[in-house]
């Protein structure tokens, strides 16, 4: 898998103030929390240390990111700086993962992180329990046996089912959490910009009709010089600058406050 790192954060279209204004802060965010809040802060500090230990691309897949999202959601409660920084760091890793999938033309994996809901339930009229939608199967195929000569499966679905999205794609869910916890509009817009860049890249790769399993570097080498230069400009370049800068902010603001972390 091809990996892009080493570009400055400004490459992502952030002006240099976006990182500094990442959260909507007030003065109380800067004060070391009272003792009753120490457990939550300690858990978040440990959580962020674990993120850094496990951020290798070997670990970065939907299953891992979902487990870290669930762990973080079990801690969130105050919408303060450390929570916003933690959410933003997980968002950065998810973008990093999605970007590298896109660079290697892994369309399904990108779709899972950005477009394809993690869990959809189909509630059927007259039935007690919902049915879990098969993630990669159209409803018309999954329920094709419900159609009859007098009622197509499309009509049956229309009049007999209610579709419930239980778990959104991870990046969509993270964006919603960033907004709910008061993260700055500049940062949220920068995340959306990266998601659009990833979609744009996959659109170009899809139009190129690259055979499945083709090594992207070999494919790029086969292009004419001008075409290759154009494609290089489209490939996603993203580093972990923001991820580590936010880690430094957490360390300076919270760990120096003599909170016991064990």
Q: Structural domain boundaries of the chain? A: 9-114+169-257, 120-167
Integer Cα distance of 99 and 199 in angstroms: 10
Q: Rounded to an integer, what distance in angstroms lies between the CA atom of residue 46 and that of residue 134?
A: 36
Question: Are the C-beta atoms of 151 and 106 separated by less than 8 Å?
Answer: no
**Could you write out the three-class secondary structure of the chain?**
CCCCCCCCHHHHCCCCCCCCCCECCCHHHHCCCCHHHHHHHHHHHHHHHHHHHCCCCCCCCHHHHHHHHHHHHCCCCCCCHHHHHHHHHHHHHHHHHHHHHHHCCCHHHHHHHHCCCCEEEEEECCCCCCEECCCCCCHHHHCHHHCCCCCCHHHHHHHHEEEEEEECCHHHHHHHHHHHCCECHHHHHHHHHHHHHHHHHHHHHHHCCCCCCCCHHHHHHCCCHHHHHHHHHHCCCCCCHHHHHHHHHHHHHHHHHCCCCC
Least confident of 27-36, 143-152, 168-177: 27-36
pLDDT, residue 238, reads 73
Does the pLDDT at position 206 exceed 70?
Answer: yes
- Check: CB of residue 147 under 8 Å from CB of residue 171: no
Residue-averaged pLDDT of the chain: 83
Between 90 and 205, the more confident residue is: 90
Q: Do 177 and 87 touch, CB atoms closer than 8 A?
A: yes
Question: Using CA of residue 108, residue 113, residue 119, residue 125, what is the dihedral sign?
Answer: negative
pLDDT of residue 78: 81
CB 174 within 8 A of CB 87: yes
pLDDT tens digit string along 81-101? 999 999 999 999 999 999 999
- In 10 A of CB 171, how many CB atoms? 24
Residue 75 CA to residue 71 CA, distance in Å, equals 7
Q: Which residues pair with 162 in a beta bridge?
A: 123
53 phi and psi, to 5 degrees?
-70, -30
Q: Is the pLDDT of residue 256 over 70?
A: no
pLDDT at site 184: 92
Q: Is the pLDDT of residue 131 over 50?
A: yes
């Amino acid at each position: 898998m091809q990996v892009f790192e080493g570009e400055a954060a400004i490459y992502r279209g952030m002006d240099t103030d976006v990182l500094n204004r990442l959260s909507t802060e007030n003065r109380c965010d800067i004060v070391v929390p009272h003792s009753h809040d120490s457990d939550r802060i300690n858990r978040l500090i440990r959580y962020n240390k674990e993120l850094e230990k496990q951020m290798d691309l070997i670990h970065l897949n939907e299953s891992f990111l979902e487990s870290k999202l669930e762990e973080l959601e079990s801690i969130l409660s105050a919408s303060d700086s450390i929570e916003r920084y933690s959410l933003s760091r997980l968002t950065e890793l998810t973008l990093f993962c999605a970007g590298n999938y896109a660079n290697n033309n892994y369309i399904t994996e990108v779709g899972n992180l950005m477009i394809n809901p993690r869990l959809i339930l189909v509630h059927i009229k007259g039935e007690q329990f919902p049915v879990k939608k098969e993630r990669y199967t159209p409803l018309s195929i999954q329920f094709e046996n419900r159609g009859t000569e007098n009622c197509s499966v499309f009509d049956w679905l229309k009049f007999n089912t209610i579709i419930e999205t239980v778990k959104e794609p991870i990046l969509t869910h993270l964006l919603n959490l960033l907004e709910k916890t008061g993260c700055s509009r500049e940062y949220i817009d920068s995340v959306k910009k990266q998601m659009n860049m990833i979609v744009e890249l996959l659109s170009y790769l899809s139009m190129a009709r690259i055979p499945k399993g083709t090594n992207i570097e070999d494919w790029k080498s086969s292009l004419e010089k001008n075409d290759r230069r154009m494609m290089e400009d489209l490939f996603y370049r993203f580093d972990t600058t923001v991820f580590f800068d936010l880690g430094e902010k957490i360390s300076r603001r919270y760990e120096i406050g003599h909170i016991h972390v064990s």
